Structure 1
Amino acid sequence: MRIRAAQLNVRVGDLAGNFERILHVWDHAERDGVDVLLLPELVTTGYPPMDMLDHPWFAHEIERVHEALREASSTKSCALVFGSITLRPSERPGKPLYNSAYWVYQGKEVARVHKQLLPTYDVFDEARYFEPGPASEPIEWRGRRFGVLICEDLFENENPWPASDYACSPVENLKGKEIEFVLIPSASPFTLQKRARRVTIVQRVTQRLECPLAFANQVGGNTELIFDGGSLVVNDRGESLEEAAPFQEGWADGVFPALKLVDQTSEFSAKDAPSPNTPSLTPPTQPSPWQEQALQAITLGIKDYIQKSDLKPSICFGLSGGIDSALIAVLAAHAVAPEDVMAIGMPTRYSSDGSLTDSKQLAERLGIGWKTCSIEQMRDLTGSSIETMIEEPLAEIAQENIQSRLRGLTLMALSNHSGALLLATSNKSEMAVGYSTLYGDMAGSLAPIGDLYKTQ
């Protein structure tokens, strides 16, 4: 039996587009002889769907997607396990929806499992929309007994408080029920420490249940969240046998009773899977240095912000010669074509010659555009006009912030004129202590390094 854990980059709310992506990867799985294709949590809606879930029409449209997927399964020999929502009967007390996993095969719904643990901390707010599901039972299919846990059901009390106060353990509930394989549809956002924690938790769960596990995680940027994928299959000793490449669409296959895996590229190119008789195993993927992970995550976030917002693939920002704007220049050149990036220098009498020459040199090395716009005249005129109005000299802090705000005004005007996405250059250290100017250096649609400290 071949089981595939696939990670997809879906768009929140794009039901038709997400449906097509599911069919695309499902067709590949069918051609590759996969028996069970596991997809991420809420793959039909994208994660997090947030207040779209409050609209009844949205839930009913998703039910049409479910029916279309069930019908599509009638022509396939590959079963599909995917994350979506379930509309609860209106007469029942509680929230109107479940966060669910569906199993469809040859025109029928084999099983439906509801998420039991609803994270409501940090970036999560699932208890606002969903009702906790009942304890899940084993799913029997082709003579095998499967367990299905949805994201937090796997992590359960491993997360910090308040997640550590869950009253039940979905993993413990499956223990002793002769589960032969566990499937985990997930939407687990990226952090610099997440991969190591995720692998550790997966290892503990497989050891507790004494069976292999497949974990399919969402990939891509949605709202302020970035998902790294990292879908994997482990054996019954918790050993990671293969992990899909992070920050791109892909998959890993497990063949049973012996596990053999294959990783696919983001383009889902046709690549032959290993024969079930092949004895060799692929070694686990080694994690990249945190700096490379951060680069990949932020680059993906910028790309998806542009693409999923249907924006023009071009970027502008202010380049001062400092380290923050220099890092933004590198990230921008990674996210879109360098020729579609415009860096702007905005000098005044206080700007050093070195800041301009350093900025120009960096732009040339990266192959991005470089222009200058002196704001000295605007600064003098703004200051003198306000002083005439108030009939006294401007306070020092007001004078200092005029310069920054004029830069924000200049950059926003350029963004409005060209349609380019304006990136803010503030970092987390500056935001934490208030070392920034409202409507000045904080101007921008996206702050790519807003979650990085200055020391990082």
Structure 2
Amino acid sequence: MKLIRLAAAVLNQTPLDWRGNRARIGAAIDQARAQGASVLCLPELGISGYGCEDTFQSPNTLHHALEALLDLLPRTRGMVVSFGLPLRVRNGIYNVAALAVDGRLQGFVGKQHLAGDGIHYEPRWFKPWPAGVHDTVLVAGQPVPVGDLAFDIGGVRFGFEICEDAWVATRPGIRLARHGVDVILNPSASHFAFGKIAVRQRFVLEGSRAFACSYVYANLLGNEAGRAIYDGEAMIATAGRLVALGPRFSYAEHRVTSAVVDVDLTRLEQARRTAFQPHLGSDPGRIVVPDFPWPECPPESRPPEAPAWETSPCLKEEEFARAVPLALFDYLRKSRSRGFVISLSGGADSAAIACLVGLMVRFGAAELGIDGLRARLGLPADTPADSRERALERALTRALLTTVYQATANSGRITRAAARAVAEAVGAEHHEFDVSPLHAGYVDLVSKALGRPLSWGEDDLALQNIQARVRSPGAWMLANVKGALLLSTSNRSEAAVGYATMDGDTSGGLAPIAGIDKAWLRHWLVWLEREGPHGLAPVPALAAVNAQAPTAELRPADRAQTDEDDLMPYPLLDAIERAAIRDKRSPIEVFRLVRPAFPDLDPAQLGRWIERFFRLWCRNQWKRERYAPSFHLDDENLDPKTWCRFPILNGGFELELEDLRAWIASPPPAG
């Protein structure tokens, strides 16, 4: 019986934070050692940070990454530890995992399949390492193996699949299995998306089953570089069975998950399989063979237990309630801001963001304690008169979150009351401004310049936009005075069609919900009002928000303005966006795809709405180019810097829309 304790560490790193990243890695090694682990897998590019972008090409980045690795080697005495870093080999830059054994560097394994879809641009910086090729590279004057390697460490064989390597059909594990590998380490930087955990668990479990080995998966944690969120998933599986599962969305700087595996049992599984055909013959240089005395390891039987929320029927709602608050927490502290400011309109978008900030405090305090949370945020200790837990949370929320309701003549009592109720519910410092004089002043200024009064009949759009824009300076000033970050309240549905006032409601340094569609966001707010995240109370005050039809509230009240009257029903808008933008469908294809989901719509009206979407999409790319950074949350995004590129100046799909109109007027016969 050959028992080994394997460990996966998740790290909340920051690109180019050489001291901080090194310290967190060192602390994770110490924690793994304290758990009795002999093997530790750290995340992909954990030394440099995954999100270094074009600075991966900088000699300075490569120098500091290698220097940090050499400094960390002594911490690995008595252990086997993998590190992630960029490495130059013959003037190509590679994404590699370095393996240290008992304090000595034994080799580098190059990532073979680079992520180049969605938010990923790895081929811009790295070369894919060719399968079956190995070489040497000089490190501190000594030759070190590099390439498609495996390691025979004290009689136990190890190999690597680095993140994307495991997501492809020709994954390296297929070849590693033929070399009799006992353990596969997977250092990853796999960004969060709704439901993605199920995919990861499938390839970890299937890899351990198909290759008859033990499999260790270690992901990054938190908001590393600004846009991508990492859930900090850690998994260990053996022969198709999950034996350890770490918690996700932790507020800790690092976490270590470990489990004991039996190497003899996975070898027995390989021997039993008639389909298993080991690689015979020599392969000089492919297998690195360092000595290592494996310590005695007692057996354990501790089945992994997922937190209750992970098995909730409302998993997407739970994930959103955890992913965005963690991302806000990291953005706040890494940007060295001293809080958040929100222009709270009484509508769904700003209310959702206020609640997400409140959840940040509640989840952070639950894990770290109030004092620990304050320390992580760089806030001084506080001793309020009321020391009850919820009172402490509310006091901290008030210190971190400032909201302001900014009324014009077109604002109503309902939205004012809703904004006040939400601010009170989350514990924000709340203010109310009357910006009507500012609005009137600009209208008068332009009217005099033009020599005529402005009217709703002739100047509707300008009169709407100026109201949104006069709200920007006061919110920005509050943020400046407090050293806080102004949060923009735009959502993805509005971004798709430009239904936002540039330099008005788009004002801010971060757009937390610009990656989520409006229809689902409204659904989430109802869930938060009535149910809420597991272990926390719901927010009944949201009833005042959820009862309203979404409205920009920029026209006079007698015009009864609503978003959906201005645009189209939000569920339809989101369905059109997914088909047209995510799936790259033509207008006719969009019509055919969305029609079955909305059978009661008149075909001509549906066609007009599809045409409206395409025209607004094409007209408003310049706005999307100027949006504040947003979080990536699912399998689509409109961020032109990381996901969806589109020309600012374009032909507007004129020919395709002509085809759509003709097709609706004379549809082809069914069948």
State the TM-score, normalized to the length of structure 1: 0.89
1:254 aligns with 2:259: yes
* AA at the equivalent of 1:291: E
**Structure-2 separation of matches of 1:121 and 1:371:** 44
1:53 aligns with 2:56: yes
Does the 8 Å contact 1:29/1:78 carry over to 2? no
**Structure-2 separation of matches of 1:305 and 1:38:** 26
Deviations 1:188-219 (A, max 9, x none): 00000210111122222222212121100001
**Structure 2 match to 1:160:** none
**Structure 1 match to 2:506:** 442
Shift of 1:107: 2.8
Does the 8 Å contact 2:82/2:100 carry over to 1? yes
Cα 1:49–1:287, aligned 2, differ >3 Å: closer, same or farther? farther
Q: Across the two proteins, how many residue pairs are aligned to each other?
A: 422
**Structure 2 match to 1:32:** 35
**Structure-1 separation of matches of 2:107 and 2:209:** 25
Shift of 1:403: 0.2
**Structure-2 separation of matches of 1:354 and 1:111:** 65
1:356 aligns with 2:416: yes
Equivalent position SS for 1:234: strand
**Structure 2 match to 1:116:** 112
**Structure-2 separation of matches of 1:198 and 1:306:** 29
Does the 8 Å contact 1:85/1:100 carry over to 2? yes
**Structure-2 separation of matches of 1:414 and 1:125:** 37
**Structure-1 separation of matches of 2:263 and 2:311:** 25
Does the 8 Å contact 2:243/2:302 carry over to 1? no
Shift of 1:258: 8.1
Equivalent position SS for 2:469: helix
Does the 8 Å contact 1:409/1:440 carry over to 2? no
Does the 8 Å contact 1:240/1:284 carry over to 2? no
1:183 aligns with 2:185: yes
1:100 aligns with 2:96: yes
* AA at the equivalent of 1:155: W
**Structure 1 match to 2:365:** none
1:329 aligns with 2:354: yes
Higher helix share: 2
Deviations 1:11-37 (A, max 9, x none): 111011100111111112222221011
* AA at the equivalent of 1:339: R
**Structure-1 separation of matches of 2:232 and 2:43:** 9
Does the 8 Å contact 1:117/1:153 carry over to 2? yes
**Structure 2 match to 1:6:** 9
Cα 1:258–1:368, aligned 2, differ >3 Å: closer, same or farther? farther
Shift of 1:352: 1.0
Does the 8 Å contact 2:173/2:184 carry over to 1? no
Shift of 1:370: 0.9
Shift of 1:280: 4.2
Shift of 1:335: 2.8
**Structure-1 separation of matches of 2:153 and 2:45:** 23
Does the 8 Å contact 2:488/2:508 carry over to 1? yes
**Structure-1 separation of matches of 2:173 and 2:304:** 28
**Structure 2 match to 1:150:** 162
**Structure-2 separation of matches of 1:352 and 1:280:** 58
Deviations 1:130-161 (A, max 9, x none): 1111332321112111111100001124xxxx
**Structure-2 separation of matches of 1:147 and 1:154:** 12
Select which of 317, 328, 346 maps to 2:342. Answer: 317
**1:245-324 equivalent positions in 2, closer than 5 A:** 245-248=247-250, 249-257=254-262, 276-283=298-305, 286-288=310-312, 289-312=315-338, 314-324=339-349
Equivalent position SS for 1:127: helix
Shift of 1:284: 5.1
**Structure-1 separation of matches of 2:63 and 2:235:** 32
**Structure 2 match to 1:429:** 493
**Structure-1 separation of matches of 2:195 and 2:302:** 30
Which 4+ stretches in 1 moved above 6 angstroms?
Answer: none
Does the 8 Å contact 1:303/1:335 carry over to 2? yes
Q: Which runs of 5+ in 1 are unaligned?
A: 91-95, 158-167, 260-274
* AA at the equivalent of 1:31: A
**Structure-2 separation of matches of 1:241 and 1:107:** 28
**Structure 1 match to 2:122:** 126
Shift of 1:89: 2.3
**Structure-1 separation of matches of 2:248 and 2:166:** 20
**Structure 2 match to 1:263:** none
Deviations 1:253-312 (A, max 9, x none): 1212189xxxxxxxxxxxxxxx83333433455445211111111001111111112222
Deviations 1:172-199 (A, max 9, x none): 2223221111110000000002101111
Cα 1:298–1:280, aligned 2, differ >3 Å: closer, same or farther? closer
Equivalent position SS for 2:300: coil
* AA at the equivalent of 1:407: R
- Identity across aligned pairs (percent)? 30
Cα 1:200–1:278, aligned 2, differ >3 Å: closer, same or farther? closer
Cα 1:385–1:134, aligned 2, differ >3 Å: closer, same or farther? same
Does the 8 Å contact 1:7/1:250 carry over to 2? yes
* AA at the equivalent of 1:142: G
Deviations 1:111-140 (A, max 9, x none): 210100011111111111111113323211
Equivalent position SS for 1:373: strand
**Structure-2 separation of matches of 1:235 and 1:350:** 63
Structure 1 range deviating more: 114-123 or 360-369: 360-369
**Structure-1 separation of matches of 2:415 and 2:302:** 56
Does the 8 Å contact 2:32/2:256 carry over to 1? no
Does the 8 Å contact 2:260/2:299 carry over to 1? no
Equivalent position SS for 1:455: helix
**Structure 2 match to 1:384:** 444
Does the 8 Å contact 2:349/2:490 carry over to 1? yes
**Structure 2 match to 1:81:** 82
Q: Which runs of 5+ in 2 are unaligned?
A: 132-147, 265-296, 362-395, 521-671
* AA at the equivalent of 1:69: L
**Structure-1 separation of matches of 2:405 and 2:298:** 60
Does the 8 Å contact 1:18/1:43 carry over to 2? yes
**Structure-1 separation of matches of 2:189 and 2:39:** 19
**1:151-230 equivalent positions in 2, closer than 5 A:** 151-157=163-169, 168-221=170-223, 222-230=225-233
1:141 aligns with 2:119: no
**Structure 2 match to 1:267:** none
**Structure-1 separation of matches of 2:21 and 2:80:** 18
